[in-house]
Structure 1
């Protein structure tokens, strides 16, 4: 009877460790996805502003980076607001 009790205790400990490892793995994956989403929310408006600004500057005569710089700065502001709103939720 003592051997059966020891076996049951060992199995319960192993099951507990496996469940704990599974919970921690999901947490790591969840955090990775969360940080990746924050990065995209910040970077996509900046890159979109840079491309749109470059296209608008190429339509003008001469050399100009007015639209590119303006839209990059606008993209930074929009991205920061996106990140703030995402974290707030």
Structure 2
């Protein structure tokens, strides 16, 4: 029993260019330009929303980093930190 192993390069040679073009044209007829444009619009909208979300998350990370720094300073230098906090409070009230 002999088994034949098909060689991909030899099978590519057997493809008729006219049949390939016919297949490509049939495939292109199935593509609806309106659907593609709607998909592109949805993708743009989602990208804009993700960009906005990234900006918000970046702001949250910055605020969190400030809060962590303030907490560390308060633990390490409680007297100095409370003095500065009082000074800032009086400046904001005046």
Q: TM-score when scaled to structure 1?
A: 0.51
Unpaired segments ≥5 residues, structure 1: 1-7, 58-64, 75-89
Alignment partner, residue 67 of structure 1: 81
Higher relative contact order, structure no. (Cα contacts within 8 Å, ≥ 6 residues apart): 1
Q: Which structure would you say has the larger Rg? A: 2
Unpaired segments ≥5 residues, structure 2: 1-28, 89-94
Residue in structure 2 matching 1:44, options 48, 61, 65: 65
Alignment partner, residue 60 of structure 1: none
Q: 1:13 to 1:33 in 2, by over 3 A?
A: same
Q: TM-score when scaled to structure 2?
A: 0.49
Residues 50 and 69, structure 1, Cα contact 8 Å, conserved in 2 = no
Structure having the higher helix fraction is 1
**How far apart are residue 66 of structure 1 and its match?**
5.3
1:28 aligns with 2:42: no
